[in-house]
Structure 1
Amino acid sequence: MINEVVGFVNNILWGDGKVLIVMLLLAGIWFTVRLKFIQLLDFKHMFSLLKNSNKADKQGISSFQALCTSLSARVGTGNLAGVAVAISLGGAGAVFWMWVIALLGMATGYAESLLGQAYKIKDSDGQFRGGPAYYIKQGLKNSWFAVLFALCLFFGYGFVFSAVQANTISDALNNSYQIPTFYSGLVIMVVAGLIVVGGLRAIAKFAEWVVPFMGIAYVLVALVITIINIEFLPGVLYQIVTSAFGLQEAGAGAFAAAIQNGIQRGLYSNEAGSGSVPQAAAAASPHPNHPASQGYIQMLGVFLDTMVLCTATAFIILLGTDTSIGEMEGIRLTQSAMEMHMGGVGADFVAAAIGFFAFTSVVANYAYGESNLHMFKLDNKLGRTFFTSGYLIMILWGAMASLPTVWAMADMALGLMTVVNVIAIVLLTPTIVSITKDYRDKRKANVDITFDHKKCDMQGDIEEKEIWTGKLES
């Protein structure tokens, strides 16, 4: 019965209904136009903000830590297993549509992260918290819609998504070393529990060290493989483009499959528009101390996740294995491709990579769910204990569950979150445009960039106005 319900909802969101595909494409186009092609015209500026991104205060984590935390959640099964699923079901053309949704999603990611900062609050420990539930409640003055999002996020990031990551880790280890999935799940559960017990700051510090290391190492390996097979690269690029528009022998069916799987897996990987990343964005004390600056930082996260890391996996697969499979293939397709490039050590490398990638997602997912406990007045010892227990149990369950079942539940949770969030950020467009204009005007005038909510045309009302003093506490 559960499988039937999940299948019915996913068919509306992703399948015949294609609700989310249309919503995300339109939202990406909408914010690209309304923000004046911000992802292209301000492309260099988002990199320049990394210069002072390691500064923080006692109330929030640094912008770099927020970026690494969001990348911890983004960079996981979507980059290795998700790309493989997209290619196996949608062909090489799915990669092109992953690029499209990422490019458009950069503007959407900017918008939602800006809102996360603008409407952030302080929790019972005096630390910054925020996200869609908070900007829906304050900006749109709609408590029930805010609660609906928070519940979807609890279900998705608090429980199901960590099960997906654990499933991929255990499957990779079982495939390479025949380790029983139960034991893999048990180890993942214990290690994750030791990290998340330290709260958001412990998770952010963990992400700050692990994410850059694993990301750079993976890209370097993919770059070497691409250079070794450089004579085949033009053919792969041609295959990606022609398959994306159904110009090869499969025709219209391949075209539809490429769009659906490319966008679906692209969203699952970069999470733009889903409402997840604003949780990390809101926790930061940004430099400059302005909501837009964290919007730029998180826009960079979308670019790094899909345009860099997902592309690396796509090239590894398309340069190394037959992709005309026609059935769902996860991490094992990526492992098979890597074995063709690197021999027996290839599967070992992918197993290690997915271990790092997916485990950081497991940890970051906890931070997202925990950020919404304040909405229900559960940011206390009892509330955190209950939430943590459910989170850890789902990790163990996910490690032993079947691949299609886990992915289907993840798709449903992500889809429901995205519907609520996209509606909210589109309704809050006047606030996004106003705050962005304030930032751009100050940057153009070369004056100190600080945020004064009274000088921006913001919808609703900010709950804790004293947060925006223009200065960071030491």
Structure 2
Amino acid sequence: MAQINGIIDWANGLFWGYILIYGLLAVGLYFTIRLGFIQFAHFREMWRCVTSSGVTDRDGISPFQALTVSLASRVGTGNIAGVAVALTLGGPGAIFWMWMVALVGMATAYAESTLAQLYKSHGPDGMYRGGPAAYIARGLGAPWLAAIFSVALILSFGLIFNAVQANSIAEAAAAPIEALLVQWDLVAPATGDEIGAYVAAKIVIGIAVALLSGIIIFGGIPQIARVAEFVVPIMAGLYLLAAIIALVLNIERVPGILSGIVLNAFGLQETVGGVAGGVIAAAMNGIKRGLFSNEAGMGSAPNIAAVATPAPHHPSSQGFVQALGVFIDTILVCTATAVMILLADVMPSEELTGVNLTQAALGDHFGGLGQVFVAVAIFFFAFTSIIGNYSYAENAIVHLGGGRGGIVALRLAVMAMVVWGASQAVTTVFNFADASMGLMATINLIAIVLLSGTVATVTRDYLAKRKVGEEPFFRISQYPDIAPGVNREIWS
């Protein structure tokens, strides 16, 4: 195990210390420039593509459902705990660098999701399927590389990250469940057997979450989309509302907090809101937190983007939708966490960080109700991440030819990992997931850069039609150079 851990740590150091920390930013800047700063120039188009009704198609889900499923995966416990850690280690300037990563990441998200739409096909169940594995296999003609990508995605998003999310839920709810188990005489009182009672409570939570997850994921992606469409807007809306209330209650301090974030990012102001951090610490922690949170370039969200029926009927439409997902995740939700912490009279420290820091901040704003709210938010953020992550892995299973049997096996494995993750310390296996995600992200970044000419061609087609007042409708026959690998029936 020591040798295995050493190899995993080396891989993570390579991926996250060198390749991805610079690669994701470089690719984001590349697409920002090549596509004419599309995330800024056409920001309104993102909202139009989400709200357009379009033509219904039973083979896919709606643009809004695709957005909410991707947000279900993106908006997880990292938006609560991860932002607090970034503030503790990097200071308020880390938030500025999170913003910068998100703004360039929107262009990357646009590119990968546009490709996912373009190269989608009908799966064995008739539903649209696709994602990075599809454009790697058919766009680049590298099915072997697509298979490696799919395996890495299943291991990280399908299995291990779901164990981590279940662990977050169990950690947040274990104490009250333990008290109930003792009260009902189901476990021994805490008289030297505290660990046993605590673990029993976490196992109960894991089983409950697994059963609830199973009810949803056994309904397939359409069922996941319906749940996400209902839960995610409420979940994110209430969280943003809490941040707005905190802003209003402390409105006189807001200008100082915002200016402090910017100044601290460049070392012009060392402290603000009780947090301190150097320029390098602010940049590195903000960039890493931003990359982990919005997932732009990771190759995850394109898996659900491919399942959508776009409105208008054009690959770029889903590119705009998923670019908006990056904006909502980081610029809105992560910023909400940061602002609530910075406006609170709490002092980040080695002891008070992560979820505890966010709970303390909301406790300062809203009293005991605030701490309860954080616990509830953790449950919904983590639970929706489980079902969102599963939807990505299901696409990968279909690409590998798993069929109905493979999908059922994946669903059972996800439920088992939820129970296991709730009761175990998942540090080592989480490191393995980071390495696996680093591999898939590296493969995906190479693929979308090699296919960037296709992205540019499709984007020009969309924008040219919008410019003359025409509803964008993509016809592959107009672009024979990119026809190989594209399903002509879908885009005829």
Please report the TM-score for the alignment, with normalisation by the length of structure 2.
0.90
Structure 1 position 233 matched with structure 2 position 254:
yes
Cα 1:123–1:242 change in 2 (3 A) is same
Two-structure CA RMSD over aligned residues (Å): 2.1
Which amino acid counterpart does residue 346 of structure 1 have in structure 2?
G
Q: Which residue of 2 is the match for residue 120 of structure 1?
A: 120
Cα 1:253–1:208 change in 2 (3 A) is closer
Q: Which residue of 2 is the match for residue 274 of structure 1?
A: 298
Give matches, 1:52-131, under 5 Å.
52-53=52-53, 56-131=56-131
Q: Which residue of 1 is the match for residue 189 of structure 2?
A: none
Q: Is the 8 A contact 1:53 1:64 kept in 2?
A: no
Which amino acid counterpart does residue 56 of structure 1 have in structure 2?
T
**2:414 aligns with one of 374, 391, 395:** 391
Which amino acid counterpart does residue 209 of structure 1 have in structure 2?
F
Q: Which residue of 2 is the match for residue 283 of structure 1?
A: 307
Aligned length: 465
1:219-254 deviation digits (Å, cap 9, x = unpaired): 11110011111222223223322332234559x983
Runs of 5+ consecutive residues of structure 1 not aligned to the other structure: 470-474
Give matches, 1:105-254, under 5 Å.
105-174=105-174, 180-248=201-269, 254=278
Task: Return the alpha-carbon distance in structure 2 between the equivalents of residues 5 and 321 of structure 1.
Answer: 42
Structure 1 position 11 matched with structure 2 position 35:
no
Which amino acid counterpart does residue 292 of structure 1 have in structure 2?
S
Q: Which residue of 1 is the match for residue 193 of structure 2?
A: none
Q: Which residue of 2 is the match for residue 262 of structure 1?
A: 286
Q: Is the 8 A contact 1:132 1:275 kept in 2?
A: yes
SS in 2 for 1:14: helix
Does 77-86 or 430-439 show the bigger shift? 77-86
Q: Is the 8 A contact 2:398 2:407 kept in 1?
A: no
Q: Which residue of 2 is the match for residue 472 of structure 1?
A: none
Q: Which residue of 1 is the match for residue 328 of structure 2?
A: 304
1:109-159 deviation digits (Å, cap 9, x = unpaired): 000000000000111111001100000011100111111111110111111
Cα 1:325–1:49 change in 2 (3 A) is same
Cα 1:143–1:219 change in 2 (3 A) is same
Q: Is the 8 A contact 2:344 2:361 kept in 1?
A: yes
Task: Return the alpha-carbon distance in structure 1 between the equivalents of residues 83 and 54 of structure 2.
Answer: 31
Structure 1 position 453 matched with structure 2 position 476:
yes
State the Cα distance separating 1:35 from its structure 2 match. 0.4
State the Cα distance separating 1:257 from its structure 2 match. 2.2
Does 49-58 or 192-201 show the bigger shift? 49-58
Cα 1:232–1:413 change in 2 (3 A) is farther
State the Cα distance separating 1:417 from its structure 2 match. 1.8
Q: Percent of pairs identical after alignment? A: 47
Task: Return the alpha-carbon distance in structure 2 between the equivalents of residues 323 and 416 of structure 1.
Answer: 37
Q: Which residue of 2 is the match for residue 346 of structure 1?
A: 370
Q: Which residue of 1 is the match for residue 396 of structure 2?
A: 372
Q: Which residue of 2 is the match for residue 420 of structure 1?
A: 443
Task: Return the alpha-carbon distance in structure 2 between the equivalents of residues 223 and 457 of structure 1.
Answer: 50
Q: Which residue of 1 is the match for residue 36 of structure 2?
A: 36
Q: Is the 8 A contact 2:49 2:63 kept in 1?
A: no
State the Cα distance separating 1:326 from its structure 2 match. 4.9
Q: Is the 8 A contact 2:50 2:67 kept in 1?
A: no
Task: Return the alpha-carbon distance in structure 2 between the equivalents of residues 288 and 97 of structure 1.
Answer: 34
Q: Is the 8 A contact 1:138 1:460 kept in 2?
A: no
SS in 2 for 1:466: coil
Cα 1:356–1:324 change in 2 (3 A) is closer
Task: Return the alpha-carbon distance in structure 2 between the equivalents of residues 319 and 254 of structure 1.
Answer: 20
Which amino acid counterpart does residue 245 of structure 2 have in structure 1?
V
**2:358 aligns with one of 320, 330, 334:** 334
Task: Return the alpha-carbon distance in structure 2 between the equivalents of residues 160 and 345 of structure 1.
Answer: 32
Task: Return the alpha-carbon distance in structure 1 between the equivalents of residues 339 and 392 of structure 2.
Answer: 31
Which amino acid counterpart does residue 399 of structure 1 have in structure 2?
A
Q: Is the 8 A contact 2:51 2:64 kept in 1?
A: no
Does 334-343 or 319-328 show the bigger shift? 319-328
Does 222-231 or 45-54 show the bigger shift? 45-54
Please report the TM-score for the alignment, with normalisation by the length of structure 1.
0.93
Q: Is the 8 A contact 2:84 2:353 kept in 1?
A: yes
1:139-193 deviation digits (Å, cap 9, x = unpaired): 1001111111111101111111112211221222236765732222221111001
Task: Return the alpha-carbon distance in structure 1 between the equivalents of residues 6 and 420 of structure 2.
Answer: 20
Task: Return the alpha-carbon distance in structure 2 between the equivalents of residues 247 and 327 of structure 1.
Answer: 27
Task: Return the alpha-carbon distance in structure 1 between the equivalents of residues 171 and 479 of structure 2.
Answer: 50
Structure label with greater radius of gyration: 2
Task: Return the alpha-carbon distance in structure 1 between the equivalents of residues 434 and 142 of structure 2.
Answer: 26
SS in 2 for 1:467: coil
Task: Return the alpha-carbon distance in structure 2 between the equivalents of residues 294 and 154 of structure 1.
Answer: 23
Cα 1:269–1:409 change in 2 (3 A) is same
**1:444 aligns with one of 467, 475, 481:** 467
Task: Return the alpha-carbon distance in structure 1 between the equivalents of residues 174 and 392 of structure 2.
Answer: 29
Cα 1:171–1:431 change in 2 (3 A) is same
Cα 1:454–1:399 change in 2 (3 A) is same
Task: Return the alpha-carbon distance in structure 1 between the equivalents of residues 241 and 447 of structure 2.
Answer: 39
Q: Is the 8 A contact 1:32 1:107 kept in 2?
A: yes
